[in-house]
Structure 1
Amino acid sequence: MRWGAYFAVSLSVISIGLALGLTMPLVSLRLEGWGYGNFAIGVMAATPAVGVLLGAVIAGRLAARLGTPTLMRLCLLSGAFSVGLLALLQSYPVWLLLRLLIGVQLTVVFILGESWINQLALEKWRGRLVALYGTGYALSQLAGPVVLGLIGTGNDAGFWLGVALLIGGSLLLIGRGGAPRVDPHSASGRGLGRFCLNLPPIALAVVLFAGFEAIILTLLPIYGIRQGFSQAVSLAMVSTVVVGDAALQLPIGWLADRMSRQTLFKACGVALLLSSLGIPLVLHSPLIWPLLVLFGASAGGLFTLALILIGERYRDDALVRANAHVAQLWGIGCLVGPLAIGAASQWLTGHALPLMMALGAFGFVVLVWRHGLPAVEAETAS
């Protein structure tokens, strides 16, 4: 196994997590300070999702022409340029366009990077290696709000640090090998419907976690402030959720190599349902902190297991195509989640964030219990 390539690609994608952990809350808090409501902030949070859908369509064709490492480096560098413009051109309409571009640029990196990681992983270590990547990514997002709290939100330092991180991530990929072989149609995005019909629990898990990640970094700070907490405490809530995501991914990956992955998948869905329902009940008590840890761990576990289950079923072109579908589903989750929760928070209930996550988790639990997952051999052959 190419350990150097595995760690370089993982760290490159992880640099995106830290950059987003810095810039996404900063954008939301800046809009809050400008007087925008929940729905307008939700629209801003959802805009990259359109870019995700576009990125899923073009990733395979561009990778076939330019090569996976070259394309990933170019997208990281152009993403750094777009983040820099967020600091220089502070206008709501301009930010919408820039967030759209960032969605396209970073989606290509995610599709190709996660395919590369899964391609490199040996089957007997797949759960732990994918979980190690997931832990690093979650820790990077945890570090984002923490660093943002230290450097402050009243200046543009968070944007410029994000620029530096993306440039650094591009440099890590120089000279790395072992990437999946890609033809022009591998990640074209065609076949999403078939993918969802073959693996409906995996599809819904990706949508759920995408919506979760978008709202945690953008709407959870606002939820905390609107429920009477200070900005510092609200950012600490975001960090606590991501601590849960990060802390338990390696144990989940370890278990995924030693027990039924489908059983573990179900358990994460049940835990997400119960923790989501519990948040409004214990919000102003000390119990909220361990509950937020469980909330983050269960949501992160769904996505980690989805990647593991995909990696054991697909290779090369099929793996890149499957990850393109993951990106499309991610875009749907990022689009629907912030818009729905932003609107419900403004016009229905202030606790829309946890309650709508509970609704999604309930749907997942029902789906995975009724349909399960097909055998690995059947999916590998398809």
Structure 2
Amino acid sequence: MIQVLRTTWPLLLGMMLLMVGNGVQGTLLGIRGAEAGFSTFAMSVVMSAYFLGFLGGSRLAPELIRRVGHVRVFAALGSLISAVLVMYPALTEPWAWTLGRVIIGFCFSGVYVTAESWLNNAVTNEIRGKALSLYMIVQMAGIVCAQGLLILDDPTGFVLFIIPSVLVSIAFAPILLSVNPTPAFDNTKPMKLSKLWETSPLGCVGMIALGGVFSALFGMAAVYGTLQGMNVPQIALFMAVIYTGGLVLQYPIGWLSDRMDRRMLITVVALVAALACLVPLVGSYNYSVLLVVAFLVGGCSNPLYSLFIAYTNDFLEYEDMAAASGGLIFINGLGAIAGPLVVGWIMGLVGPSGFFLFLSLICFGLVVYAVYRMTQRAAPSVDETGSYAPVSASASVVAVEVAQEYYIDTAQEEEEAAAAEAAG
């Protein structure tokens, strides 16, 4: 791990600052929108816009990088992010925020593609798995730390929008001044969705469902907290616990996934999340209980993303895994766009409880479908499956392809070791 830090610390520091900026704006808009009198549906459109931009950026950013280079793309997108962050309080209108979220989603997607290309280029095969894990930890830590900034000032003012704008601007200094020479960029063409469906129906259903879950947590949790009557420190802690759960439970679930039928683990993890979401629906409001629920929901949903990728890989040849990652991310993006819109519609019908109602329905749906798929074909032997590689649900296709490389390298090393042991 020391070797990874020595090689990549400027990039990791810059990405952490960027994630602080991104984490603040997502939660802050949810609070500020309610204060400004935006309807629940209007806020759902605003929150969905980020994921529309993110999906567009994941498709277009690679072409921009090929045309003008990593440095120019990185600097241009960073400037746009910083500008939009200070635009929000100056133009408090749903249409303006929706446009700003599209732009920010597009820009962050391009920034992730660029930074993750540099990360992949900066490390060797021997430490790629550790670098990927550390990168994910930095991302999650940045979002968690961002929630603490919300208590520094009044959300109805300008200061909380200026701070993330400054952090984003500063974030590019260590990266652009210290990064290694820009790597060659070659983006893999995504696998056709029809072939991906034939390979793993559960993987496809799981990824689109998780897109809705993740976007609901990232975009609408603060709106839920505001409607529930939480104060700003309570909303900040509520959001931080969601991401902390995703970080803490990632590795225990990953360890289990390499030692049992992944469909069974998917079923159990989704069931825990679904049952946790029922607690706020059947009991009276209790903030302490809500924090436990947030930890479990975040802790179950984030690892499921990596788990569905690993499960899909179990039915792919090595040479098809990188192409499959592009298709899975596209499917996940479609779910992410729909998630806030559906949550906003349900919350408009039944009130704040619609937030957890949506999450519980999606998770119960995953449980039912996973059980159904277990009746359709046998699971591959645990000895024949590859290693679980942790990936954040906000990662770009580059990070997922790096995870695929790690998956392949680990699987090949295990095969070679098994062959050597059999021969000896």
Q: Do the structures match in fold with TM over 0.5?
A: yes
* Structure 1 CA distance for aligned equivalents of residues 184 and 290 of structure 2: 46
Indicate the SS of the match to 1:151: coil
- Aligned residue type for 1:182: F
Deviations along 1:265-317, whole A, 9 cap, x unmatched? 44432322222222323452343322221111111211244566689979999
1:259–1:317: structure 2 CA closer, same or farther, 3 Å change rule? closer
Query: Which of 139, 152, 156 lines up with 1:150 in the alignment?
Result: 152
1:222–1:108: structure 2 CA closer, same or farther, 3 Å change rule? same
Q: Could you tell me which residue of structure 1 aligns to residue 418 of structure 2?
A: none
Q: Could you tell me which residue of structure 2 aligns to residue 235 of structure 1?
A: 236
Indicate the SS of the match to 1:172: helix
* Structure 2 CA distance for aligned equivalents of residues 10 and 181 of structure 1: 20
Q: Could you tell me which residue of structure 2 aligns to residue 343 of structure 1?
A: 345
Contact 2:117 2:185 in 1 (8 A): no
**Consecutive unaligned residues in structure 1, runs of 5 or more:** none
Contact 1:56 1:324 in 2 (8 A): no
What does 1:4-23 correspond to in 2, within 5 Å?
A: 4=6, 6-23=8-25
Deviations along 1:57-82, whole A, 9 cap, x unmatched? 21222232344465344323332222
Contact 1:135 1:245 in 2 (8 A): no
Q: Could you tell me which residue of structure 2 aligns to residue 168 of structure 1?
A: 170
Q: Could you tell me which residue of structure 2 aligns to residue 245 of structure 1?
A: 246
Q: Relative contact order (C-alpha < 8 Å, sep 6+): which is higher?
A: 1
Aligned pair count reads 375
**Consecutive unaligned residues in structure 2, runs of 5 or more:** 387-403, 409-424
Contact 1:134 1:249 in 2 (8 A): no
Q: Could you tell me which residue of structure 1 aligns to residue 275 of structure 2?
A: 274
- Aligned residue type for 1:212: V
Indicate the SS of the match to 2:92: coil
What does 1:1-382 correspond to in 2, within 5 Å?
A: 4=6, 6-68=8-70, 71-114=73-116, 120=123, 122=125, 126=129, 129-174=131-176, 175-177=178-180, 181-183=184-186, 186=187, 191-253=192-254, 259-260=259-260, 262=262, 264-282=265-283, 284-285=285-286, 286-306=288-308, 319=322, 322=324, 324-369=326-371, 370=373
Contact 1:56 1:189 in 2 (8 A): no
* Structure 1 CA distance for aligned equivalents of residues 181 and 253 of structure 2: 26
Contact 2:118 2:179 in 1 (8 A): no
Shift of 1:196: 4.7
Shift of 1:41: 0.7
Contact 1:22 1:162 in 2 (8 A): yes
Indicate the SS of the match to 1:153: coil
Identical columns (%): 19
Shift of 1:113: 4.2
Q: Which moved more, 1:7-16 or 1:88-97?
A: 7-16
* Structure 1 CA distance for aligned equivalents of residues 213 and 294 of structure 2: 13
Shift of 1:337: 0.8
Contact 1:130 1:307 in 2 (8 A): no
Q: Which moved more, 1:53-62 or 1:168-177?
A: 168-177
- Aligned residue type for 1:34: A
Q: Which moved more, 1:147-156 or 1:246-255?
A: 246-255
1:8–1:301: structure 2 CA closer, same or farther, 3 Å change rule? farther
Shift of 1:106: 0.9
- Aligned residue type for 1:191: K
Indicate the SS of the match to 1:182: coil
Q: TM-score, normalised by structure 2?
A: 0.74
* Structure 1 CA distance for aligned equivalents of residues 319 and 247 of structure 2: 28
Contact 2:118 2:180 in 1 (8 A): no
Q: TM-score, normalised by structure 1?
A: 0.81
Q: Which moved more, 1:146-155 or 1:84-93?
A: 84-93
Shift of 1:88: 3.6
Q: Could you tell me which residue of structure 1 aligns to residue 392 of structure 2?
A: none
* Structure 1 CA distance for aligned equivalents of residues 108 and 269 of structure 2: 27
* Structure 1 CA distance for aligned equivalents of residues 205 and 9 of structure 2: 29
* Structure 2 CA distance for aligned equivalents of residues 230 and 154 of structure 1: 13
Q: Which moved more, 1:301-310 or 1:25-34?
A: 301-310
Contact 2:199 2:312 in 1 (8 A): no
Shift of 1:52: 2.0
Q: Which moved more, 1:329-338 or 1:202-211?
A: 202-211
* Structure 2 CA distance for aligned equivalents of residues 228 and 218 of structure 1: 17
1:187–1:270: structure 2 CA closer, same or farther, 3 Å change rule? same
Shift of 1:336: 0.7
Contact 1:56 1:187 in 2 (8 A): no
Q: Which moved more, 1:193-202 or 1:272-281?
A: 193-202
- Aligned residue type for 1:215: A
Shift of 1:42: 0.5
Indicate the SS of the match to 1:150: coil
* Structure 2 CA distance for aligned equivalents of residues 59 and 311 of structure 1: 25
- Aligned residue type for 2:31: L
* Structure 1 CA distance for aligned equivalents of residues 54 and 42 of structure 2: 20
